[in-house]
Amino acid sequence: MNYKESLQPDYIFQQVKEASDQLGVDSYVVGGYVRDLLLKRPSKDIDFVCVGSGIELAKHVSEQLPGKAKLSYFKNFGTAMIKHKQYEFEFVGARKESYQRDSRKPIVEDGTLQDDQNRRDFTINAMAISLKSNDFGELVDPFDGLKDLQKKIIRTPLDPDVTFSDDPLRIMRAIRFASQLNFDIEPDTFESLSKNAERLKIVSAERIIVELNKIIMCDKPSYGFQLLFHSGVLKVIFPEMVKLHGVKVINGQGHKDNFFHTLKVLDNICEMTDDLYLRWAAILHDIAKPPTQRFSEKVGWTFHGHEDKGARMVPGIFKRLKLPMDDRMKYVRKLVKLHLRPIALVKKEITDSAVRRLLYEAGDDVEDLMKLCRADITSKNHDKVKRYLRNFDVVEQKMVAVEAKDKVRNFQPPISGEEIMKTFDIQPSRVIGIIKEKIKEAILDGKIPNEYESARKMMLEIGEQEGLMAHSGKE
């Protein structure tokens, strides 16, 4: 089958063909571009393999491209990259690889196109299209990758045990591709990746989290997480999440399976946002339910304090998984800590004070918090879901009204510590914090309005109670 007319952007393929002819080498477009071309998916990254020097081929091509082309090459790896317009073109010489048991870093030698296709992870990524003059555009598909694309199958080109043992990161990639493309993993391939799951321990956490985040960013990440769970991979890379699985029953009373509940929340949030870290908040919102699980005859199963303990667990999980330890971690920690608060509000009469406190603590993340809370309603009772969602509408309307009146979102006390020290002629001390805290609490409770004059009046009253007026000589 010939794909000459389908190759886009057509200029790069003609340039590679002409440069290859000048150098006397055979060249091919390979991997993800070919797969996406056959799936009719757009691709901005295009990989070329030549039986010869990929760097020399890239140099020749870059010199012929119109306009500005940025060439980078890496002699140690024998690779080169050209950035041109909105595209990235990568060039490498065909090679064969061998591995040592304790490392996923291959020993690389020059090879043939067949050697290069043999080293590819999956059949759908092992296809090539010839750029040679005599068969330009012809598909080279030794492992029936096209057939696997049509059958929606992820399968390794060679023995899967060798494939996954050599480079265990391919385990994550198999599940990632299945998730992104909504493909099945061929049974022998799945059995092998499950058998080799422990091999992921030789892969850096940095490489694993890249693949895990790509799974999380799929349209329906629950599918990828179920593959991770049933293969045993999740237990290796993210054991805290596996602990959510299971239902304990005492005296005939059980509770929902928190693992599958979490996956439902994750899928729900994905319908509202493509923000990676809001999706992480969905994954971690109930992460502390296992250690906080208790049973009593009177109330049955409880998970008291799981939101607070879960928030305390977030930094440790982020650190181990090599997720960023910056404001993104703090954002997830905040949402985990607060995720029950709006739900508690809908269960009782909403007071302005409770809304003020929620706005104060959530700040600019309050809309994301409400998305998480809506996603967290996973009951199979549709009337119950509708009732909760209507109640959330009421809470959000109340938030808008309270914020317009009291302006407590990202609230800063109207009275500063410097003004307190100046007013009472005192040095930095504990009493300054006491005054600021009392003013803040009074505003959040609605005892005084969020304005300067009222806050100053209260400051003076507290100062008198604390004996500061006499100290300042203003009694």
User: Tell me, what's the pLDDT at 469?
Assistant: 66
The CA distance from 45 to 307, in Å, is: 42
The CA distance from 392 to 129, in Å, is: 54
Helix (H) or strand (E) holding 98: strand 95-98
The model carries a pTM of 0.87
What is the pairing mode between strands 45-50 and 87-93? parallel
User: Tell me, what's the pLDDT at 106?
Assistant: 61
Confidence of residue 102 (pLDDT cuts 50, 70, 90): low
Question: Using one digit for the tens of pLDDT, what is the confidence trace for 200-248?
Answer: 999 999 999 999 999 999 999 999 999 999 999 999 999 999 999 998 8
Domains of the chain (ranges; CATH) run: 4-151 (3.30.460.10), 417-472 (no CATH)
The CA distance from 199 to 69, in Å, is: 40
445 pLDDT exceeds 90? no
For 380, the token pair is 């199979």
CB 45 within 8 A of CB 32: yes
User: Tell me, what's the pLDDT at 75?
Assistant: 85
Question: Using one digit for the tens of pLDDT, what is the confidence trace for 404-417?
Answer: 887 777 777 788 88
48 pLDDT exceeds 60? yes
Question: Using one digit for the tens of pLDDT, what is the confidence trace for 11-41?
Answer: 999 999 999 999 999 999 999 999 999 999 9
User: DSSP assignment of 396-457, as one string?
Assistant: HHHHHHHHHHH--TT---SS-HHHHHHHHT--S-HHHHHHHHHHHHHHHTTSS-SSHHHHHH
CA terminus-to-terminus distance, the chain: 96
Count of C-beta atoms within a 10 Å radius of residue 439: 23
Question: Using one digit for the tens of pLDDT, what is the confidence trace for 279-331?
Answer: 999 999 999 999 999 988 888 888 889 999 999 999 999 999 999 999 999 99
Amino acid at the residue 198: E
User: Tell me, what's the pLDDT at 475?
Assistant: 46
Q: What mean pLDDT value characterizes the chain?
A: 90
470 pLDDT exceeds 60? no
CB 417 within 8 A of CB 428: yes
SS3 45: strand
Angle at which helices 327-338 and 366-375 cross, to 10°: 50
473 pLDDT exceeds 80? no
The DSSP secondary-structure symbol of 246 reads: -
403 pLDDT exceeds 80? yes
Question: Using one digit for the tens of pLDDT, what is the confidence trace for 318-333?
Answer: 999 999 999 999 999 9
Count of C-beta atoms within a 10 Å radius of residue 276: 14
For 252, the token pair is 């005939």
